[in-house]
Amino acid sequence: MLSGSLVAIVTPMAADGALDLPRLKSLIDWHVAEGTDGIVIVGTTGESPTVDVDEHCRLIEKAIEFAAGRVPVVAGTGGNATREAIELTKFAAKAGADYALSVVPYYNKPTQEGLYRHFSAIAEAADIPLILYNVPSRTIADLANDTVLRLAEAARIVGIKESTSSIERVTDLMARMPKDFMVFSGNDDSALAYTMLGANGVISVTANVAPGPMHRMIAAARAGDRATAIQINNSLLGLHRHLFIETNPIPVKWALARMGRIAEGLRLPLTPLSPRHHPTVESALRAAGCL
């Protein structure tokens, strides 16, 4: 089963917003060397809303090429139109991704029955293991635990990225899930707690800048080494908090640029990190040993 610290990797861009694929390769090589347990490409942190379909597919292909089988690749293939999500998921399967990550449809606010039918249709149409992605702070629609339980009966639906940071909710979910159904924290601030409760790990923003510590923290938690896991989490707390001081991925892309790993390219409507926040994010990087 997939487990550990999976990075929700940024999409490196030049100052004019063009994709910077050489930087993507260097990031993936760095993550492999630091122990990151999987690459999640073209998710929210990868600016999936502002890349076009051709770029989306190219990023999936390149991530698979650059990873070269060294770590699993999870392709972000969600959408608020079921047909589009199916086509992206089919593409990821054909390209050789190990898993697809499909976000709850956004803006159109489907019912629980609509969510069930949406994900069921994707799983039926595309031959690839599918991880659900629930992030109601962005999508408004919230994938209820009871609906997740229904979807877990489908052979190709194998897990969920749960981004509510609710301890009660994830405890209830894991208590009722099939044993082989994977649960990942979608928020870094709840990653340790979820993992100690039995989750498989985290799909992480913090891992973009601290891949080694995030890997070691989740590994320690899964091994029952509570003291080590807590110590690492405490050192990363500033990152967990301040990488969201403005909308993700604005702060994390600034942080990676400050570390010299990417250029600070973003696409509108996202804008560069406000200068007043630079000292706060830099301080968190230094506290975590990233600078």
Q: Would you give the DSSP letter of residue 208?
A: G
Q: Please list, in sequence order, all residues whose beta carbon lies within 8 angstroms of the beta carbon of residue 41, skipping any fewer than 6 positions away.
A: 9, 59, 60, 63, 73, 74, 75, 76
Whether the full predicted model's pTM is greater than 0.85, yes or no, is: yes
Nearest to 102 by CA among 181, 39, 44: 44
Round the average pLDDT of the chain to a whole number and report it.
Answer: 97
Residue type, 7: V
Domain boundaries of the chain, sorted by first residue: 4-225
Rounded-to-10 torsion of CA 198, 202, 37, 101? 110
- Residue-wise pLDDT for 150-208, tens only, equals 999 999 999 999 999 999 999 999 999 998 999 999 999 999 999 999 999 999 999 99
Residue 145 in contact with residue 169, Cβ under 8 Å? yes
Query: Residue 169 in contact with residue 160, Cβ under 8 Å?
Result: no
Residues 11-31 have pLDDT tens digits of 999 999 999 999 999 999 999
Catalytically annotated residues: 133, 161
Confidence category of residue 259, pLDDT binned at 50, 70, 90: very high
List, for residues 114-154, the tens digit of each pLDDT value: 999 999 999 999 999 999 999 999 999 999 999 999 999 99
Characterize the bridge pairing of strands 182-185 and 157-162.
parallel
CA distance 141 to 127: 26
4-225 domain in CATH 3.20.20.70? yes
Count the neighbouring beta carbons within 10 Å of the beta carbon of residue 114: 15
Mean pLDDT, residues 206-234 taken together: 98
Q: What is the pairing mode between strands 157-162 and 4-8? A: unpaired
Please tell me the predicted confidence (pLDDT) of residue 253.
Answer: 98
φ, ψ for residue 199, nearest 5 deg: -70, 165
Task: Report whether pLDDT(224) > 90.
Answer: yes
Report whether pLDDT(1) > 90: no
Q: What is the pLDDT of residue 111?
A: 98
Q: How many helices and strands, by DSSP H and E, does the chain display?
A: 12, 8
Give the type of residue at 196.
Answer: M
Residues with Cβ within 8 Å of 13's Cβ and at least 6 positions away in sequence, in order, are 19, 20, 47, 262, 263, 265, 266, 267
Give pLDDT tens digits for 61-104: 999 999 999 999 999 999 999 999 999 999 999 999 999 999 99
The verdict on whether omega for the bond into residue 249 sits within 30 degrees of 0, i.e. cis, is yes
Q: Tens digits of per-residue pLDDT, 24-64?
A: 999 999 999 999 999 999 999 999 999 999 999 999 999 99
